Structure 1
Amino acid sequence: MLSLYYYPGNASLFPHMLLRELGAAFELRLVDRTRDAQKSPEYLKLNPHGRIPVLVDGDLVLYETAAIALYLVDRHPEAGLAPPVGTPERAQFYKWMVHLTNTPQAEYHAWFYPHEHVLDPAAAATVQAAAGQRLNGMFDRIAGALGDGPFLLGRTFSAADLFLLMLLRWGRGMPRPPRTLPALGAFAERVLARPAVQATFAAEGLAAPLV
């Protein structure tokens, strides 16, 4: 059985939603960040970077959120959560997966942990403000590309939409939450309405506001 090492609302939220959308058999293993369990010797054997999530599938130990998602959609092609390999649609899917992990997901690190990006603690607030401005621009462009959607790949729902939902949720406490952009707000409501997504939020104990 697959095992997902997770913490509620963390980057593990995306593969957790994906596993439920796939209908895969899996178990959740809590990594308690309130006790720095992600830095424990046991967890560092799974992910030496001390970050969540990790997926274990038999002898395979896999970390990096996007890598886990790509592995899962390939492992369950029958679910149709990624277009067929070798098609133009699959290329667009790769584009969104790489963009979301390389651009807004990476930028959030400076927003949430600005102190890790400076030598002078007094500069942390400026680092965070600059990251917030960059994130606003990123979500403006995603909203423009999404248009009426309804999804990132047009009419076809894919794993990339779950990834975007997680990133929208992370911005709920920003001065301008991404969901306040009409295209992204409507998108979030569509994805949040999916039963597998609702089941994930319930299992992780995530209460409103969800995004």
Structure 2
Amino acid sequence: MLALYYFPGNASLFPHMMLREIGAAFELRLVDRDQNVQKSPEYLKLNPNGRIPVLVDDDLVLFETAAIGLHLVDKFPEAGLAPAVGTKERAQFYKWMVHLTNTPQAEYRAWFYPYEHADDEAAVPSVKRAAERRLNHMFDVISEQLGDKTWLLGEQFSAADLFLTMLIRWGRGMPRPPGTIPNLHALAERVLARPAVQKTFEIEGIKAPFI
């Protein structure tokens, strides 16, 4: 039995969208961040980092957002959320999954929680501005790589497009939201039009504006 530990709009949004795209039976288990449940002893047994999400797949307990996504594309290859193993297209898929998790997803930590990156409170605004500059550059690079393609992998929709859309959504409060970049906006809108994604947002209670 699959179970996803989640909080609305968090990094769990990505595997939640995936599970609904796949059509697999799964259980959603809310981790109430408002009550700091992700730091509870019970949750730390699942993820010692105290972060969301966690996927439980029978006796497998898995944390790290990208790892959960890669596990799901392997477990449900018939869903077509990644190209076939061993192909050049699969290598490109790996590239995007690693890039998205290591680059913009990681950088958002400094944008949302700049106080974690400064010993001096007076330095916090500077940390946030620097993170903003780096994120702007990262999304510009992604936009250049995407070009006029429909999806990150060209004509094939993949889990990487779900991942990117979540990251675009996270930046909606930035001075220059990544969703204002025309081709990123268009990709996100195509993702948001998918019935499985719409159902995910409905279940999580996420309201417009989505990006």
Give the structure-2-normalised TM-score: 0.99
Kindly provide the CA deviation profile for residues 46-69 of structure 1, in whole angstroms up to 9, marking residues without a partner as x. 000000000001110000000000
Question: How does 1:1-211 map onto structure 2 within 5 Å?
Answer: 1-211=1-211
Equivalent pairs counted in the alignment come to: 211
CA distance in 1 between counterparts of 2:75 and 2:92 reads 19
CA distance in 1 between counterparts of 2:92 and 2:19 reads 22
Kindly provide the CA deviation profile for residues 153-178 of structure 1, in whole angstroms up to 9, marking residues without a partner as x. 00000000000000000000000000
Structure 1, unaligned stretches of length 5 or more? Answer: none
CA distance in 2 between counterparts of 1:178 and 1:43 reads 33
CA distance in 1 between counterparts of 2:207 and 2:30 reads 18
Shift of 1:131: 0.3
CA distance in 2 between counterparts of 1:73 and 1:171 reads 26
What is the percent sequence identity of the aligned residues?
75
Kindly provide the CA deviation profile for residues 105-126 of structure 1, in whole angstroms up to 9, marking residues without a partner as x. 0000000000000100110100
CA distance in 2 between counterparts of 1:157 and 1:11 reads 20
Shift of 1:147: 1.1
Kindly provide the CA deviation profile for residues 153-204 of structure 1, in whole angstroms up to 9, marking residues without a partner as x. 0000000000000000000000000011111111111110000000000000
CA distance in 2 between counterparts of 1:110 and 1:161 reads 23
1:26 counterpart letter in structure 2? F
Q: Which runs of 4+ in 1 moved over 6 A?
A: none
1:32 counterpart letter in structure 2? D
